[in-house]
Amino acid sequence: MSSDQQITPPDGPSTAAVHAGEPRRRPYDSITAPIVQSATYTFADTAALIDFHEGRVEREEYGRYGNPTVRAAEAKLAALESPAEPAAGLLCASGMNAITTVLLAMLPTGSHVLLTNDCYRRTRQFVRTMLARLGITHTIVPAGDLVALEAAIIPGQTRLIISEAPTNPYLRVPDLAALAALARRRRIKTLIDATFATPYNLRPLRLGIDLVVHSGTKYLAGHNDLLSGVVIGKPGIVGALREAQGMLGGICDPHSAFLLLRGLKTFALRMERHNATGMAVAQFLAGHARISRVHYPGLESHPDHAIASELMRGFGGVVSFEVDGDLHATAAVIDRLRIPYIAPSLGGVESLVEQPALMSFYELTSEERLAIGMRDNLIRLSCGIEDTADLIADLRQALDAA
């Protein structure tokens, strides 16, 4: 292999995570992608500037329009998401920023967007508040109900369908191929937030979805030490989103991009552990007398087990479960856990645990929470990469002590 050739897909996910998207030969023969901490880029003379404007030279111009460290992370993520087809990635300041950039860029005033319920609550809030102010209407339909989805399409107005796979916190997995086919038939674009799945477990673009977003803050970076987001799709549409980012300004800084690249080197290894532990923890909880319900697509009891098994390599490290008890009994279980930290977020090497009723919906009454499907006795556990047996032993002692 020549010294500056990239390893090109298709390769296994571990090989891609380590090598894809990065030039084989880097500046100074460094083995890592350097952090290019530069706000702007210089032109040797006016002729060089004109060469750039005329498209004769590809190079950086200004930090809001691109950065070599950021581009390396974008290329790696695009290769992981779409090993066989050409795809491009756009790195953003956070997962929310990736979502808002797509929605602001794609939805004109007077258009309509379809959203499935059980979506990240800030996405729903953005659509309900900010987009409404811009004259963009929306309809929320139950996740996975394609009949309701098709019925809610407003001909000539519906431009975009947004869903998640798996959803948060009940880990519903829509039939993405059917969703994509329906949307194409009706000439509507599709956007899937696949943060909970990652490209290791699910590849929505291969199923005909137009755009995938991830909160890079979670599994992709994997170490709970940065915020980032990414949108991946065909180069043309991502190019248009890059133009919008040039105006909106929500870029990922080069230092975070470096940490993301570093985290991605072990991405496939980490996902193997997250998947194995998530499954083992879900099975343990399903057999425990103090647990009334476990929500995990790897379990046969999950309503989307069949489609999830068809589409996904593994089911991830997040397990949602219901304790046989009220808000306080559930909080007591969390407080007895010794390994997971109580914190929002997921997908990092440290296990994190939260009771959604108290973490994200604290301002609502129990009745209001129930009305939006958020039960007081629900716990969301994001299994980190600690030893599976240790996490299970910790859960056992916390549940048995009650």
Contact pattern from residue 239 through residue 268 relative to ligand PLP, giving x for each residue in contact according to CB under 6 A and a dash for the rest: ------------------------------
Counting contacts by CB under 6 A, is residue 200 touching ligand PLP?
A: no
Contacts of 263 (CB under 8 A, 6+ apart): 220, 221, 222, 223
Helix, strand, coil percentages, rounded to 5, for the chain:
40, 15, 45
Counting contacts by CB under 6 A, is residue 229 touching ligand PLP?
A: yes
- Residue entry with tokens 């993301």: 260
Q: Are strands 318-323 and 291-295 parallel, antiparallel or unpaired?
A: antiparallel
Min. distance of Cβ 40 from ligand PLP in angstroms?
A: 27
Would you call 335 a catalytic residue per the annotation?
Answer: no
- Contact positions with ligand PLP (CB under 6 A) in 289-348: 345
Chain centroid to CA 317: 13
Counting contacts by CB under 6 A, is residue 95 touching ligand PLP?
A: yes
Would you call 387 a catalytic residue per the annotation?
Answer: no
- C-alpha–C-alpha distance, residues 141 and 172, integer Å: 13
Would you call 170 a catalytic residue per the annotation?
Answer: no
Question: Binder to ligand PLP among 164, 175, 210, 376 (CB under 6 A)?
Answer: 164
Q: Which stretch binds ligand PLP (CB under 6 A): 14-22, 51-59, 94-102, 290-298?
A: 94-102
Catalytic site residue from 76, 159, 218, 380? 218
- C-alpha–C-alpha distance, residues 165 and 196, integer Å: 7
Counting contacts by CB under 6 A, is residue 198 touching ligand PLP?
A: no
Min. distance of Cβ 277 from ligand PLP in angstroms?
A: 19
Catalytic site residue from 26, 41, 51, 64? 64
- C-alpha–C-alpha distance, residues 63 and 189, integer Å: 30
- Residue entry with tokens 């009891």: 301
Contact 144, 161 (CB under 8 A): no
Closest CA to 214 of 67, 316, 295, 86: 316
Residue with smaller CB distance to ligand PLP, 54 or 363: 363
Contacts of 10 (CB under 8 A, 6+ apart): 83, 84
Counting contacts by CB under 6 A, is residue 354 touching ligand PLP?
A: no
Would you call 120 a catalytic residue per the annotation?
Answer: yes
Contacts of 12 (CB under 8 A, 6+ apart): 268
CA angle 60, 241, 120 (to 5 degrees): 125
Question: Binder to ligand PLP among 67, 101, 195, 360 (CB under 6 A)?
Answer: 195
Catalytic site residue from 175, 193, 253, 304? 193
Residue with smaller CB distance to ligand PLP, 193 or 253: 193
Q: What is the SS3 assignment for 73? A: helix
Q: Which stretch binds ligand PLP (CB under 6 A): 144-152, 189-197, 232-240, 276-284?
A: 189-197
Counting contacts by CB under 6 A, is residue 377 touching ligand PLP?
A: no
The site for ligand PLP (CB under 6 A) is made up of 94-96, 120, 164, 168, 193, 195-196, 215, 217, 227, 229, 345
Would you name the residues annotated as active-site residues? 64, 120, 193, 218
